[in-house]
């Protein structure tokens, strides 16, 4: 099932703003144990996101984690972040860059795999075989633009 991207985009931005308001600045020490991480739903897709530090709405660095349930297909989209770096922590995410969802172009990203997303680079993913956990850092402000949306 392909998630409703407009709902997902709105949910991600809302969650990011709410979470960012409660996070410490980069100038303060921060320790988060697993139980303290505040996961928020990303629309009706089943995906969840946690902002670990920083403010995704600001022109500043922030850190995040994303949980993607098995079977979730992430349609082509882009982010305006100045830079965005991510690493797979667990599971295997099939991933590719481009304007259309093309299974043949996808690369299997296993734990420890790393990728970057330049501003406006369209990309898509699929947690075909199991749940996936990824962690990332980026330079905001962030957002999400589905391919073909105006």
Q: What is the pLDDT of residue 50?
A: 97
Nearest to 45 by CA among 14, 8, 70: 8
pLDDT band (50, 70, 90) for residue 26? low
> Are 15 and 49 spatial neighbours (Cβ–Cβ below 8 Å)?
yes
Q: Which run of H or E residues covers position 116?
A: strand 114-116
Looking at the predicted structure, is the pLDDT value of residue 20 above 50?
Answer: no
Nearest to 92 by CA among 106, 75, 109: 109
CA-CA-CA-CA torsion sign (76, 41, 28, 32): negative
Q: Which of 1-15, 62-76, 107-121 has the lowest mean pLDDT?
A: 1-15
CA-CA-CA-CA torsion sign (79, 80, 81, 83): positive
Q: How is domain 5-146 classified at the CATH fold level?
A: Jelly Rolls (2.60.120)
Q: Which of 30-34, 47-51, 76-80 has the lowest mean pLDDT?
A: 30-34
pLDDT band (50, 70, 90) for residue 149? low
Read off the pLDDT of each residue in 93-114 and give the average, rounded to a whole number.
Answer: 98
Nearest to 83 by CA among 99, 108, 60: 60
The C-alpha atoms of residue 116 and residue 5 are separated, in whole angstroms, by: 21
Q: What is the pLDDT of residue 15?
A: 41
pLDDT band (50, 70, 90) for residue 25? low
141: preceding bond cis by omega (within 30 degrees): yes
Q: What is the pLDDT of residue 30?
A: 85
pLDDT band (50, 70, 90) for residue 7? very low
Q: What's the residue count for the chain?
A: 150
Nearest to 64 by CA among 76, 78, 47, 77: 47
């Amino acid at each position: 099932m392909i998630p409703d991207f407009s709902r997902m985009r709105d949910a991600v931005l809302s969650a990011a703003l709410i979470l960012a308001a409660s996070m410490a600045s980069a100038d303060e020490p921060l320790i988060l144990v697993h139980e303290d991480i505040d996961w928020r739903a990303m629309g009706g897709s089943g995906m969840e996101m946690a902002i670990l530090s920083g403010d995704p709405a600001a022109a500043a660095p922030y850190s995040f984690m994303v949980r993607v349930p098995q079977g979730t297909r992430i349609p082509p989209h882009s982010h305006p972040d100045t830079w965005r770096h991510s690493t797979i922590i667990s599971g295997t995410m099939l991933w590719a860059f481009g304007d259309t969802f093309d299974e043949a172009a996808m690369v299997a990203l296993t734990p420890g795999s790393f990728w970057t997303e330049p501003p406006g680079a369209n990309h898509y993913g699929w947690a075909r075989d199991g749940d996936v956990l990824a962690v990332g850092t980026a330079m905001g402000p962030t957002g999400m633009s589905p391919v073909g949306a105006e």
